Amino acid sequence: MTTDLSPLFEPRGVVVAGASSHPGKFGFVSLHNILACGYEGDVFALGREAGEVLGVQVLDSADQIPEGRADLVFVCTPPSANEALIREVAARGVRAVFMAAGGYSEAGADGRAAEDDLVALCDELGLILAGPNGQGVVSPPVDLCAQIVAPYPPRGAIAIASQSGNFVSSFQNYATQTGIGVSRAVSAGNAAQLGIVDYLDWFAQDPQTAVSLIYVEGIEDGRQFYERAAAVARVKPIVVLKGGASTGGQRAAASHTGALATDDAVFDGMCRQAGLVRARNVEDAFEAAASFATQPLPAGNRVAVLTSVGGWGVLTADAMAGTTLDLVELPSELRAELDAKLPPRWSRNNPIDMAGGETRDTIPEVLELIAAHPDIDSVIFLGLGIQSNTAALMRSGPFYPDHGIERIVDFHERQDARYATTAAEVSERHGKPILVATELAVAAPDNAGVVATRRSGRLCYAAADRAVRALDAMSRYATFRQRRGL
Amino acid sequence: MEGERSGPVQPVLIGDTHRLVAADVGVARSRTMTTHTLSEATSRAVVSAAGIEVSPYVTAPDAAAAVEAAAELDRPLVAKLCGDSIAHKSERGLVRLDLASDEALERATNELVAAARPEDGEVELLLSTMVAGRRELIAGLTHDPQFGMTVMLGVGGVLAEAIADVSFRLAPITAVDAHEMIDELDTQRLLGPFRGEPAVDRRAVAAVLVGLSDLAAGDPAIVSVDLNPLVIVDGRPVAVDALVERTGARP
């Protein structure tokens, strides 16, 4: 049974408890972030200081909150104050608690007891409880940024739940950098009542979410996690980043099988069996999720690599070794079609090295030919932005705009923008992933090709091997589904 | 090659049962469980009943009976002293290999019977055909403190712990899961045609894994099973040793 988390992610109004005029305190920062990011629901501040904070009247009692106007309370007050507070706000119609405050189970035996009491209280009152000791909840579809950290990411389709609040920030930083946005994000904190799987359950039926991205360290009940995450993965992809993979080595065991059962080996097998996509680091995890959020799922593992420079294609082919991806032999009729578009020196195989022989329409036409072919499931395109990179030096030099430089600079930038736009359009039309990779994504984020990729709603991958790993993640998930008739 | 268990497995012995302490570092949870192992002969019977092929074998109470009982088995033979309390035979030198003649068999089995210790309790001789295959896998079941019963496939048989090329799934598994376990082993070249031997029959290996999973489902008292090694004979997996561990003190 999925717990309804809409009071947490789509509250009618928010109460900040422990509101403070001190700009270093959680009770100020959270209020600031909620107000500054454009949340349109009612915002109430509860605190001991009379007057206003950031233009919001500080109330000294929850009785002053109009009934039914706030669903969520964001709590920055210490454990000793919170039972009375929660009872009072619940009486005004609050249905969800985000407990940012610490001092609970992370703080020893007394804290553990306080946390047990907190859960019992919320259960008694029918409240959902996120945290305690969490950094916040973010929900761009309703412009909600109730967190004590940054950043506030753009809207998108990635839902994040993390056992470590700082990974929520890390993923949101990548979302902000790349433009591939977030639907929901929550720091589970001590996960006293709501655990990662409870968030996953809700994300599965959340229309704003296309893919879930989770960070986990400890899992209390592995069986339950497996069964519920597996059920969610049948609906939407889940990308998992696991901390503590190297701890918990071989166990004392009477059997050889037991001696081989490291925590990581068992966790890895569980992920594969459940259809969870496991990533090896933060970047890979984000980029896999960004790919699921923005690209069609590939029908198979047959990849064509299109490159304007030979060496890039070679390294991309190398990166595909050890993945599930297949750098297919080019079908002969496709090779013949490409012969008609490319100079004689082109590679005549996969990777498709155009050998610098592109004219004005070559790349759009070749992308279309490749993506249209039934024996190709996805494309990695390398070489976007070269022309604009050349143009950037001309534009910043002393001779610009004279000597015809302005015209050629404009042409180059238009071309790169067109390649990026075409890649997204062709991908959509054929329902096949087309991943664009160039280091310019980070080296020159203002490059016209990079900007246009971002504007098309796609991720511009910062390196070919990163595009390979992201595509491999999609391919593995697609294969998982196909083998099980999903 | 006839493999036998050896290596770093060091259960704490309390009486004649293993006291197994599995600490889960991730959630700082610990669990203690009293378990006991079955003899190789009983273990073989248990896994055979689950449809898993084991090398042809007979059992006998003494050397004289061993020669007679083994008359029908293809040679050479391996002779082992087995009993519920003897989990790790090769560490004790309770295995004799390459026995071709009746004389060799009688001599070896006499030595084995003489090597029995009072604390071994009831023992018997197990005689088995030494099957031929260059490749060894390991398969088994083990109870994970976080995820419960798991099914494992690994490369290497007696070298498995050093190679550590393994794949786990949570029981129960499907045939699709079993095939994916085989596919994800790193050492795929070992599974193709190899030095004159045919490719490993993946369906047969998958059937072993599903058989283990069924075994766990049918007997909740099972804590672990080792099929080690699982020798590839003409492409087919054959268990030449088996060890089943169940919960509770030895009956």
Reduced 3-state DSSP string for chain B = CCCCCCCCCCCEEECCEEEEEEEECCCCEEEEEEEEECCHHHHHHHHHHCCCCECCEEEECCHHHHHHHHHHCCCCEEEEEECCCCCCCHHHCCEEEEECCHHHHHHHHHHHHHHCCHHHCCCEEEEEECCCCCCEEEEEEEEECCCEEEEEEEECHHHHHHHCCEEEEECCCCHHHHHHHHHCCCCHHHHCCECCECCCCHHHHHHHHHHHHHHHHHCCCEEEEEEEEEEEECCEEEECCEEEEEECCCC
- Which chain B residue shows the shortest CA-CA distance from A223? B147
B54 or B24: which carries more pLDDT confidence? B54
Token match 């070559």: residue?
Answer: A362
| pLDDT above 90 coverage of chain A, percent | 92
Mean pLDDT over each residue of chain B, to the nearest integer: 87
User: Which uninterrupted H or E stretch holds A437?
Assistant: strand A434-437
Instruction: Give tens-digit pLDDT for A218-229.
Output: 888 999 999 999
Amino acid at B164: A
Cα separation, A204 vs A358, whole angstroms: 44
Helix, strand, or coil here: A200?
helix
Residues of A in contact with B141 (CB under 8 A): 257
pLDDT score, position A246 = 65
Residues of A in contact with B12 (CB under 8 A): 252
Token match 């968030």: residue?
Answer: A199
Of A100-114, A235-249, A322-336, A419-433, the range with the lowest mean pLDDT is A235-249
pLDDT score, position A252 = 59
Identify whether the C-beta of residue A72 lies closer than 8 Å to the C-beta of residue A43. no
- CB count in 10 Å sphere of residue B163: 16
Q: Is the pLDDT of residue B66 over 50?
A: yes
B45 contact partners, CB below 8 Å, separation of at least 6: none
pLDDT score, position A257 = 87
pLDDT score, position B180 = 98
Helix, strand, or coil here: A153?
coil
Q: Is the pLDDT of residue B30 over 60?
A: no
Q: Residue B13 — very low, low, confident or very high, per pLDDT cuts 50/70/90?
A: very low
B75 contact partners, CB below 8 Å, separation of at least 6: B99, B100, B129, B130
- ipTM score: 0.92
Residues of B in contact with A246 (CB under 8 A): none
Distance from the Cα of A250 to chain B's closest Cα (Å) equals 10
Q: Is the pLDDT of residue A340 over 90?
A: yes
Distance from the Cα of A247 to chain B's closest Cα (Å) equals 7
Backbone angles phi, psi at A175, to 5 degrees: -60, -40
- Please answer yes or no on whether B176 and A256 come within 8 Å at the CB atom: no
The shares of helix, strand and coil residues in chain A, as percent rounded to the nearest 5, are 45, 15, 40
> What domains sit in chain B, N to C, each tagged with a CATH number?
12-53+133-247 (3.30.470.20), 57-129 (3.30.1490.20)
Mean pLDDT over each residue of chain A, to the nearest integer: 96
Residue A322 at interface with chain B, using a CB cutoff of 8 Å: no
Identify whether the C-beta of residue B211 lies closer than 8 Å to the C-beta of residue B50. yes
Q: Is the pLDDT of residue B199 over 90?
A: yes
Identify whether the C-beta of residue A302 lies closer than 8 Å to the C-beta of residue A374. no
My answer on whether omega of the bond before B229 falls inside 30° of 0, hence cis, is: yes
Distance from the Cα of B30 to chain A's closest Cα (Å) equals 12
Instruction: Give tens-digit pLDDT for A441-451.
Output: 999 999 999 99
Q: Residue B24 — very low, low, confident or very high, per pLDDT cuts 50/70/90?
A: very low
**Which residue among A260, A263, A272 places its CB closest to the CB of B152?**
A260
Residue of B152, B158, B222, B247 to mutate, interface with A, max A Cβ within 10 Å? B152
Q: Is the pLDDT of residue B106 over 80?
A: yes
Over residues B236-248, the mean pLDDT reads 95
Cα separation, A117 vs A83, whole angstroms: 9
| pLDDT above 70 coverage of chain A, percent | 98
Amino acid at B126: L
Instruction: Give tens-digit pLDDT for A257-276.
Output: 888 888 899 999 999 999 99
**Which residue among A223, A260, A273 places its CB closest to the CB of B160?**
A260
- Which chain B residue shows the shortest CA-CA distance from A476? B180
Degrees to nearest 5, angle at CA B31 with B25 and B36 = 125
**Which residue among B21, B152, B170 places its CB closest to the CB of A226?**
B170
Q: Residue A251 — very low, low, confident or very high, per pLDDT cuts 50/70/90?
A: low
DSSP state of A105: G
B144 contact partners, CB below 8 Å, separation of at least 6: A222, A261, A266, B150, B170
The overall longest dimension of chain A from CA atoms, in Å, is 81
- CB count in 10 Å sphere of residue A36: 11
> What domains sit in chain A, N to C, each tagged with a CATH number?
6-292 (3.40.50.261), 297-483 (3.40.50.261)
E strands, A118-221, are 128-130, 136-139, 144-147, 155-162, 182-187, 211-216
Instruction: Give tens-digit pLDDT for A97-127.
Output: 999 999 999 999 999 999 999 999 999 999 9
- Please answer yes or no on whether B224 and A258 come within 8 Å at the CB atom: yes
> Of A234, A185, A235, which Cα lies nearest the Cα of A213?
A185
Instruction: Give tens-digit pLDDT for A293-302.
Output: 999 999 999 9
- Please answer yes or no on whether A260 and B154 come within 8 Å at the CB atom: yes
A377 contact partners, CB below 8 Å, separation of at least 6: A298, A299, A300, A301, A302, A303, A432, A433, A475
pLDDT score, position B9 = 35
Residues of B in contact with A255 (CB under 8 A): 9, 140, 142, 224-226, 243, 245
pLDDT score, position A343 = 93
Q: Is the pLDDT of residue B116 over 70?
A: yes
A358 or B15: which carries more pLDDT confidence? A358
**Which residue among B25, B26, B142 places its CB closest to the CB of A261?**
B142
Distance from the Cα of A443 to chain B's closest Cα (Å) equals 36
Class of residue B105 by CB neighbours under 10 A (exposed 0-12, middle 13-18, buried 19+): buried
Residues of A in contact with B90 (CB under 8 A): none
pLDDT score, position A235 = 97
Identify whether the C-beta of residue A11 lies closer than 8 Å to the C-beta of residue A96. yes
Residue of A255, A273, A476 to mutate, interface with B, max B Cβ within 10 Å? A255
CA trace torsion A261, A160, A164, A465 (10° rounding)? 60
- CB count in 10 Å sphere of residue A483: 14
Strands B166-170 and B242-247: unpaired
Distance from the Cα of B69 to chain A's closest Cα (Å) equals 30
Residue of A190, A225, A256, A270 to mutate, interface with B, max B Cβ within 10 Å? A256
User: Which uninterrupted H or E stretch holds A335?
Assistant: helix A332-339
Over residues A206-228, the mean pLDDT reads 95
> Of A176, A196, A266, A278, which Cα lies nearest the Cα of A237?
A278
Q: Residue B6 — very low, low, confident or very high, per pLDDT cuts 50/70/90?
A: very low
